[in-house]
Structure 1
Amino acid sequence: MDGKVVVVTGALGALGKVVAEMALARGAKVAGVDHAASQTPPTETRIELGGVDLSDAAQAKKVIDAVASRFGRLDALINIAGGFAFETVAEGDPKTWQRMYALNVLTALNTSRSALPYLAASTSGRIVNIGAMGALQAGAGMGPYAASKAGVHRLTEALAAEWKGKITVNAVLPSTIDTPANRASMPKADFTKWVTPQELANVILFLASDAASGVTGALLPVSGRV
């Protein structure tokens, strides 16, 4: 990752923070983007852009253009921004389906479309999306979330086919990630079986690296010990 410019969306979340720190440790220049406000001052190798709604195409383009202007290039886009909701189909709010689509599909779509010209100009343009094992077969209460993540899977495949030979586009499909929020919501679960943010980040950064030049269109399960 030495010298590469990497954009990480959802950079202030549990997984985004780990991915950003690992990328920096491997020599990358990192631009973190998040809906939440950022208090981190910029450095030569890191900037954080907060208060950005990536479900809005204009905001996504503005922030990607700003990153490319700041660092002079863009080599990898890691789309971590997203959300989760647990509701049954019959009893849930229809607006939840719209919210999940906006948080999970539109954020990845808008940032990817904005980044495509810059990534195509790189010698190793990469997009890595976050799908979900739970989107392969939705369980009870997982309808809105699984449908949106299935959309991320199809977006990944379509972009990979359209930009083959110019940009690699892949997705990781985690099971439950071991985060404080997930532990709080499922206190009786066996946390040792979950995939850790560090384990998932290693796979993400592999797909964003030169070593993964021959991989595109992959939906890679990262299921921990489930």
Structure 2
Amino acid sequence: MNSSAQRVVVTGAFGALGRVVVQSLVASGATVAALDHAPAPAETTAGVHAFGGIDLADAEAARTALEQARQALGGIDALVNIAGGFHWETLAEGSLDTWDRLYRLNLRTAVAASQAALPFLLAAGGGRIVNIGAAGAVKAGTGMGAYAASKAGVARLTEAMAEEFKDRRITVNALLPSIIDTPANRADMPDADTSRWVTPEQLAGVVRFLLSEPAAAITGALIPVTGRV
């Protein structure tokens, strides 16, 4: 797969991590369809086609968005599932609604986007899917139950898809980041040593590698990207 000519769909593309991943891919020569629930920005850089206002947890909306992306890009070679959300809440004081909401944000969006992209990846003769999981899905802490459970679902989805499509030239992998150095996380943890966190640029570099030809033999991997946390 020639990474310099890839046609990549990125979900959650207007967030702190998504923006950096999109910029990194375009800088490497890819063209990108940037999808998000948030409104599309008024201006985009060359090589980026922005689509906002999309509920990717809705199967029909996901199919429509991926078809629009295919038309804009002329095909799809790769999908990067970043769309998601976080909420800290203890079980004793929490709500079942939080579990439903994080399942919808973190797992259902990845399932719906992947299902919608698969026909185009298969038509292209193969491709790449990269999901953003979480290190917390391996060992959850207090208040992380709903988030970790939804991200554990992303890990199992990654493994299942990798097995299903390994003979059809589609690789499926997931990154398991620790705390990402974003403005929101800095605001929530003002006293933290942010030098220990993972930067969006570091994560974007791993995504870019997984989309490249040298990574063709890697599938079903859950890759910790945890910095010094």
TM-score category, normalised to shorter length: over 0.9
Identify the match of residue 111 of structure 1 among 93, 113, 136: 113
Corresponding position of 1:196 = 199
Corresponding position of 2:59 = 57
Q: Which runs of 5+ in 2 are unaligned?
A: none
Corresponding position of 2:211 = 208
C-alpha contact 2:133 2:175 (8 A) present in aligned 1: yes
**Within 5 A, what are the aligned runs for 1:66-215?**
66-165=68-167, 166-215=169-218
Whether 2:47 is the aligned partner of 1:22: answer no
Runs (4 or more) in structure 1 with deviation over 4 Å come to 41-44
Q: 1:25 and 1:122 mapped to 2: Cα distance?
A: 23
> What is the letter of the counterpart of residue 18 of structure 2?
G
Moved more, 122-131 or 154-163: 122-131
Task: Tell me the TM-score normalised to structure 2 length.
Answer: 0.96
Overall identity of the aligned pairs, in %: 57
Aligned-pair CA distance for 1:123: 4.3
> What is the letter of the counterpart of residue 107 of structure 1?
T
> What is the letter of the counterpart of residue 120 of structure 1?
L
Corresponding position of 1:39 = 41
Computed over aligned residues only, the root mean square deviation of the Cα atoms, in angstroms, reads 1.2
C-alpha contact 2:137 2:148 (8 A) present in aligned 1: yes
C-alpha contact 2:32 2:47 (8 A) present in aligned 1: yes
Distance 1:43 1:21, change over 3 A: closer
Aligned-pair CA distance for 1:134: 0.5
Q: 1:83 and 1:22 mapped to 2: Cα distance?
A: 22
Q: 1:71 and 1:11 mapped to 2: Cα distance?
A: 16
Q: 1:79 and 1:157 mapped to 2: Cα distance?
A: 15
Aligned-pair CA distance for 1:70: 2.0
Q: 1:99 and 1:73 mapped to 2: Cα distance?
A: 32
Q: 2:14 and 2:113 mapped to 1: Cα distance?
A: 17
C-alpha contact 1:77 1:112 (8 A) present in aligned 2: yes
C-alpha contact 2:32 2:73 (8 A) present in aligned 1: no
